[in-house]
Structure 1
Amino acid sequence: MTALQDLIESGVRKGLQQCYGVDAAGQEITLQSTRKEFAGEYTVVTFPLTRLARKKPEEIGQDLGIFLKDELEEVKEFNVIKGFLNLVIEDAYWARFLLQEAGESDFGRSPARDERVVVEFASPNTNKPLHLGHIRNILLGWATSQLLDAAGFDVKTVQIVNDRGIAICKSMLSWQRFGEGATPKSAGVKPDHFVGEHYVMFETRFQEEYRQWQQSEDAQQVLQAKNKKDLPEKEFWKGYKNTYFNNFSDLGAAAKEMLLKWEQGDPETVALWNKMNGWVYEGFDETYERLGVRFDKLYYESQTYLLGKDMVESGLEKGVFYRKEDGSVFVDLTDAKLDEKAILRADGTSLYITQDLGTARLRYDDFGATRMVYTVADEQNYHFQVLFEILKRLGEPYADGLFHLSYGMVDLPTGRMKSREGTVVDADDLMDEVIQEAYQSSLERESTSDLSEEERREIIRKIGMAALKFQIIKVGPQKRMVFDPKESVDLQGQTGPYVQNAFVRTRAVWRKAGSPDLAAASEYTTLEPTERELISQLYAYPTLLRDAAENYDPSLVAMYCYELAKNLHKFWHDVSILNAGSEAATAFRLRLCQSVGNVLESGMGILGIEMPERM
């Protein structure tokens, strides 16, 4: 809440005492932004006060409006619309704020606090390149980390790389059998794409093997014996695929044998695993650099999957877990409206929940973080409910600071993406596409014709990446997205380039003004409506950042930047800046442009979006 809002709330409570003899010390005052069709910046909702004042909402609004205008020098005038008291703030207050506070270099950012947060995001598999779903995860996680940094937290970014398991062995086996010794370099393919192509290759060869087997006598016997529901043959075989992979497939048997050899430390298998994962990491690093994200530490599942077993033993001693007759370990979470959950298999091997218990403890040991944010799709909501509940019952010191940044999956207009079938929107291809679209759009404008080709290319890169990032981040995390690549590269409307264009305007007017002396700005006393709107928006920026950080929601920042840009464009259209009619007006408006530009750069920077000086 802003200082002005605090002042108004305090004034309302004092007014209730003065006007009606009501002690409203514990009364919640509903204060909101005034709707655009009415004059004012803040609105006091008087409906909830009728019980205390025993007056009609309109009467309360009139009485409080008169009191606040007399009591607070910041209140210029008021109007009452039914149960809403709209307050107009004095021009002098807004002007003073703009000239004194809004121009500070760290405006909007909270002071540093002695609290560390770990934000996990990305966490890909090493059997395929990053795709559109990863992009949403990465951009959301990175923006959240930067948002928490702006809120004063000491932030560490991490990921856990899923570098083991049957999927990785499928890519390895495909390269071993069908790769003919090719390498990413010899094939001229980006390294992670090269490995991903072999993951798809394995699926293609497996499907061929499966179709051939279905014609065999063994398969027909299976069909007759197992198809008790009399399903159409095609539908039966679709549902039987995993059983075939585990029990009949030559490729399946070879992949499982490779996984077993890896777990046993077979030198040849481990060497192949290191080689192919190394290719993938090289490709990942290139994609991360293009996306503008970095990690303070990487964790690898191959190093963490055995963690957590000591926590299981501790949990058994504390009575948090119990052991079944077959030796498996469970936890009963039914009193928390969750189920009984397996923690350890009967043979003593770990499950994902076991690994996550150990990894949480490891991160606490590494960083001493009291908060941990897991950026993971909403398909894992239940898993994290269970994980967090277990950690609380184990008495872990960070357990109350855990948060699952759950987000909706990204679909294509044609349906869900499937990596093993190659029906994904590749992250690198998507970035290339939006940058190319920005390039085509730039050919229609002459505003950068005086720049070198290298300078133009860099501006175009920033515009294209802004289009992609803003399109993803502006959607609230919990909403499922249908991502249409054609829509994502639209450079008009509610887009990143639209916000960038507003920023460029603020810089252009400064270049045109030369080196202006802004001392006369303090003499400007009567504000235009568009000036008031812009300044009041700037005033809300620090609170907006704190609210967005508290809710782990970067989309709030994206939409704030869009609305600020929209009002800057309106201001640009409605008033003259360099020909304002007085030195004071020009200086004030230049200062306003400067502050709006700085906040746009700050807000978009939190989202990972760079701002060009020219467009």
Structure 2
Amino acid sequence: MTDVLLKQLIAHTQQAVKALYHSDIPENQVAVQETRKEFEGQLTIIVFPMTRFSKKSPEATGTEIGAYLQRHMPELAAFNTIKGFLNLSFSDAYWADLFKTTVSRESFGTFAANGKKLMVEYSSPNTNKPLHLGHIRNNLLGYAVAEILKAYGYEVVKANLVNDRGIHICKSMLAWERWGNGETPESSGIKGDHLVGKYYVLFDKAYKQEIDGLKAQGLSEEEAKRQAPIIREAQQMLQQWEAGDERVIALWKTMNGWVYQGFEETYDRLGVDFDKYYYESDTYLLGKDIIQEGLEKGVFFRKADNSVWIDLTADGLDEKLVLRGDGTSVYITQDLGTAQLKHDEFGMDESIYVVGNEQDYHFKVLFLILEKLGRPWAGGLFHLSYGMVDLPSGKMKSREGTVVDADDLMDEMVETARVRTEELGKTEGLPEGEKARLYHVIGLGALKYFLLKVEPKKRLLFDPNESIDFQGHTGPFIQYTHARIKSVLAKGGYAASVDFELPESLADSERDLIHLLAGYPAVIKASAEAFSPAQLANYCYEVAKQYNKFYHEETILKATDVAVRDFRLHLSAATARIISGGMKLLGIEVPERM
């Protein structure tokens, strides 16, 4: 529904309650929703809250309010009351005029700048291995949320905090020194992040062997993990890095450089980007001044071993370490400093952290500490928590047999798209280059849509084959619908115009399609406010499904009435524009032909 119609309907309903029952009903108690498909009408008012004013049954109350609305709203053609639900049907003239004056315009669905700045931080990879399936969901969520918020009028900064220091990268570095023999991405033909990941795996194998050897000598597993020579050597390398050892720093820069190049190739292929990179190597010492400030304010306290803590038990949490006894940082120390750095640099009104749900507790603590420290911007911090992605057992194998990396998954998606598309004969006559491009668009579109159509908080099962279905609730179905519309427009010789005739009446499928298209701005608004691409993704599917219903029920190109034909072409063009625009916000391309 449109915001204008919603506001009019609420105002008239308030007037009806005042006139009929001499009572005032607050605006927030007038509930309006889309009419359920099994009932006649487009919008429904929930009557139950009004019965306390009418002192009558829901049916009688709905009938009286419906009659009042029909007298005062010329666009209201009919109504019916079923139990406590007042279903409203608006006239064909209303929907046709709404389409011509609003929905069909190029500017429909655009928002003016709201003057607010927001940061979306996503990806946050470690530099010891390639991006994996979990990172794909993270990147797609972060990118889509950022694009939707931009469309809604925010100035958006896309940020990536790269975890480029610590014991994990030292493990890869040490393994490369031992067994690399000078191997590089160029000499091996291996993508940089995969090459570094290879040595991380080699380290892990050697580490496990040493642990087993020490356990055979009588050490406990925990003791063996601590005493294994290779881990002690990696820890020493980390200490050398923190001390600024030139040899270690040079190797660290070289291997991280390989990883960054690999990441950029993956990001480019996935279609995501960033405005600002932060690196843990630059930020890991931040936050210590904030700890001192918190001690002076009495927010933190120091224990006998010199470690610094905060007591959050009164807030339903627990005591949290914020600085070790030897003065070294923990993650929360760094995150406090980085949060301050980001706000000092960009002055955002809001900041969204796209991080998996295993970090829910961490972000509760982080935001609460900043609030207790008196940071006025702490209220604008939000953790966009998301669930894990599972794969059907045996469907895919990773390079190392543990997690599925992003490059492998994208390769499989493109290959699956090729097989499925060729089986359906949808690429006959296309040049080879155009075919390859189409397989990429379909494969990546299937992957992105499948992951984005589910609410972020939910854990999901991703099946590559199920995601590439040209008839199901999938990205390729929406893409194919868009290509179908473009074909209709090309065959019909469609020319954009704001001056076209309106039909005297509308078919049910036309009315339903206009009604659905009219809700596009409201869907962007809802998706932006909820930080949920799923709402927009599912809306795009509903639009595609409704267009196909219209396409099969009504004649477009062979319509005998020229005005009807022209109107239906304009309706098709508006549908394509909204599908394309909505999918673009999700980071999904829609092809012109398939």
Bin for the TM-score computed over the shorter chain: over 0.9
Task: Give yes or no for the alignment of 1:512 onto 2:491.
Answer: yes
Match of 1:412 among 391, 400, 405: 391
Equivalent position SS for 1:157: strand
Q: 1:259 aligns with which of 197, 218, 238?
A: 238
Contact 2:96 2:502 in 1 (8 A): no
**Among 560, 564, 578, which residue is 1:585 paired with?**
564
- Aligned AA (1:245): K
Spell out, residue by residue over 1:79-114, the C-alpha distance to the aligned partner (whole angstroms, 9 max, x if none). 111111100011112111211211233322321011
- The offset of 1:455, in angstroms, is 1.7
* Aligned with residue 246 of structure 1, among 222, 226, 245: 226
Greater alpha carbon shift after TM alignment, 393-402 vs 533-542 = 393-402
* Residue 109 of structure 1: aligned partner: 110
Question: Which residue type is aligned with residue 77 of structure 1?
Answer: A
* Matched letter for residue 3 of structure 1: V
Q: 1:23, 1:497 → 2: CA distance?
A: 50
* Structure 1 runs not aligned, ≥5 long: 224-239
Partner of 2:371: 392
Distance 2:192 2:70 in 1: 68
Deviates more, 1:92-101 or 1:20-29: 20-29
Corresponding residue for residue 125 of structure 1:
126
State the one-letter code of the partner of 2:108: F
2:29 aligns to what SS in structure 1? coil
Question: 1:118 touches 1:369 (CA, 8 Å); kept in 2?
Answer: yes
Aligned pairs for 1:61-100 within 5 A: 61-100=62-101
Which letter maps to 1:384? F
Question: Which residue of structure 1 aligns with residue 259 of structure 2?
Answer: 280
Structure-to-structure mapping, 1:350-499, within 5 angstroms: 350-414=329-393, 422-499=401-478
The answer (yes or no) to whether the contact 1:287–1:428 under 8 Å persists in 2 is: yes
Q: Is 2:14–2:27's contact at 8 Å kept on the other side of the alignment? A: no
Aligned to 2:309: 330
Shift of 1:412: 3.2
| Cα distance in 1, alignment partners of residues 261 and 469 from structure 2 | 31
CA contact (8 A) 2:398 2:404 kept: no
- 1:54 equivalenced with 2:55 (yes/no): yes
The aligned amino acid for 1:432 is D
Shift of 1:429: 1.0
Change (3 A) 1:343 1:547: same
| Structure 2 counterpart of 1:571 | 550
State the secondary structure of the residue aligned to 2:501.
helix
User: 1:271 is paired with a residue of what secondary structure?
Assistant: helix
User: Is the counterpart of residue 501 in structure 1 residue 501 in structure 2?
Assistant: no
Deviation at 1:208, TM superposition (A): 2.4
> 2:473, 2:99 → 1: CA distance?
27
Aligned AA (2:374):
G
Q: Partner amino acid for 2:284? A: Y
Is residue 122–residue 160 contact of structure 2 (8 Å, CA) maintained in 1? yes
Q: Is the 8 A contact 1:78 1:87 kept in 2?
A: yes
Are the aligned partners of 1:245 and 1:253 in contact in 2 as well (CA < 8 Å)? no
- Evaluate the alpha carbon distance shift between residue 376 and residue 357 of structure 1 in structure 2; reply closer, same or farther with a 3 A threshold: same
Q: How does 1:331-350 map to 2 (within 5 A)?
A: 331-350=310-329
> Within 5 Å, which residues of 2 pair with 1:118-267?
118-215=119-216, 218-219=217-218, 222=219, 240=221, 242-247=222-227, 249-267=228-246
Q: TM-score, normalised by structure 1?
A: 0.93
Label 1:492 to 1:198 Cα distance change in 2 as closer, same or farther (>3 A). farther
Q: What residue is the counterpart of 1:292 in the other structure?
A: 271
User: Which shows bigger deviation, 561-570 or 515-524?
Assistant: 515-524
Q: Secondary structure at the match of 1:523?
A: coil
Greater mean deviation of Cα atoms: 592-601 or 445-454: 445-454
The verdict on how the C-alpha distance between 1:602 and 1:79 changes in structure 2, with shifts beyond 3 A counting, is same
Indicate the SS of the match to 2:156: strand
Task: Report if the CA contact (8 A) 2:500-2:567 is conserved.
Answer: yes
Output the amino acid matched with 2:44.
T
CA displacement at 1:418 relative to structure 2:
12
Q: Deviations over 1:139-193 (max 9, x none)?
A: 0010000111111000000011001111111111111111122112211111111
Give 1:550's aligned amino acid: E
- SS of residue matched to 1:85: strand
1:547 equivalent among 519, 523, 526: 526
SS in 1 for 2:383: strand
Q: Is the 8 A contact 1:203 1:420 kept in 2?
A: no
How much has 1:421 moved relative to structure 2?
6.0
The structure-2 alpha-carbon separation of the partners of 1:566 and 1:243, relative to structure 1 and needing over 3 Å to count, comes to farther
Taking a change above 3 Å as real, the CA distance of residues 344 and 557 of structure 1, as seen in their structure-2 partners, is same
2:32 pairs with 1:31? yes
Q: 1:490 to 1:206 in 2, by over 3 A?
A: farther
Task: Give deviations 1:271-294, integer Å, cap 9, x for gaps.
Answer: 111111000000000000011111
Distance in structure 2 (CA, Å) of the matches to 1:350 and 1:491: 52
What is aligned with 1:6?
7
Output the CA distance in 2 between the equivalents of 1:584 and 1:45: 38
Q: Report the Cα distance in structure 1 between the residues aligned to 2:160 and 2:256, rounded to whole angstroms.
A: 16
Greater mean deviation of Cα atoms: 354-363 or 104-113? 104-113
- Local SS of the residue matching 1:122: coil
Query: Cα gap change, 1:473/1:517 in structure 2, threshold over 3 Å: closer, same or farther?
Result: closer
Instruction: Give the secondary-structure state (helix, strand or coil) at the position aligned to 1:603.
Output: helix
Distance 2:470 2:338 in 1: 42
Distance 1:564 1:420, change over 3 A: closer
SS where residue 315 of structure 1 aligns?
helix
Equivalents in 2 of 1:431, 1:582: separation in Å?
47
Superposed CA offset, 1:176-231 (max 9, x none): 1111221122111111111111111111222223333333xx32xx35xxxxxxxx
CA distance in 1, matches of 2:95, 2:331: 54
CA contact (8 A) 2:355 2:386 kept: yes
Q: Distance in 2 between matches of 1:199 and 1:35?
A: 55
On the 8 A contact 1:521/1:585 being kept in 2, the answer is: no
Number of aligned residues = 593
Deviation at 1:583, TM superposition (A): 1.0
Q: Is the 8 A contact 2:118 2:351 kept in 1?
A: yes
Paired letter, 1:398: W
Answer whether contact 1:520 1:583 (CA < 8 A) is retained.
Answer: no
Gaps of 5+ in 2: none
Q: What percentage of aligned pairs have identical amino acids? A: 49
State the alpha-carbon separation in 1 of the partners of residues 359 and 593 from structure 2: 43
Conserved 8 A contact 1:520-1:587: no
Checking the alignment, whether the CA contact within 8 Å between 1:499 and 1:561 is kept in structure 2 is yes
Quickly say closer, same or farther: Cα 1:547–1:26, change in 2 above 3 A: closer
Quote the Cα distance in structure 1 between the aligned partners of 2:117 and 2:102. Answer: 28
Following the alignment from structure 1 to structure 2, what is the Cα–Cα distance between the partners of residues 243 and 109?
61
The C-alpha deviation readout for 1:224-277, integer Å capped at 9, x for no partner, is xxxxxxxxxxxxxxxx2x531212x12111111111111111111111111110
Q: Determine the C-alpha separation between the residues in 1 that align with 2:356 and 2:176.
A: 30
Compute the displacement of 1:335 (Å): 2.2
CA-CA distance at 1:490 after TM superposition: 4.0
Would the aligned equivalents of 2:496 and 2:570 in 1 still touch at CA under 8 Å?
A: no
Equivalent residue number for residue 234 of structure 1 = none
Q: Deviations over 1:114-137 (max 9, x none)?
A: 110000000000000001000000
Deviation at 1:434, TM superposition (A): 0.9
- Aligned partner of 1:117: which letter? L
CA distance in 1, matches of 2:591, 2:400: 39
Deviation by residue 1:310-343 (Cα, 9 ceiling, x = unmatched): 1111112222222222221111222222212111
Separation (CA, whole Å) in 2 of partners of 1:152 and 1:41: 29
